[in-house]
Amino acid sequence: MDDDIKPVIWLGDSLKQVKSFPPEVRKDIGAALYDAQKGSKSPDAKPFKSVGGGIFEIVSRFETNAYRTIYVVQIGEQVYVLHAFQKKSKTGIKTPKKDINLIKSRYLQAIKIGEEENQ
């Protein structure tokens, strides 16, 4: 494996969620995460400012649905996938509070993992 490729750490059920998405969506997410692993940012990844700096959101649309994958790259030498979900909100683009709370919780978990690896 290339030394310049960061490993992906899947937190919670994020991998299970991504695997449940349509193949076209999984391909988009995989390509964007691979860009993150190489140290670049996919055009499909946008800053996710609801939690903190260095967190990005991949939005993939398929048919009439929107799928979101939230990841962070600025902790250690890994890419942490914090959350993946199908956005079902009918009230605009705002991310539901329960999802934001889950992302915050997993972000703190990723920080803890990163700190433990640096000891």
pLDDT in tens, 62-94: 988 899 999 998 888 899 999 999 987 555 667
CATH architecture, range 8-117? 2-Layer Sandwich (3.30)
Query: Which pLDDT score is estimated for 117?
Result: 77
Ranges of each domain in the chain: 8-117
pLDDT < 70: residue spans in the chain: 1-3, 89-93, 119
Percent of the chain having pLDDT more than 70? 91
**73 and 79 in contact (C-beta within 8 Å)?**
yes
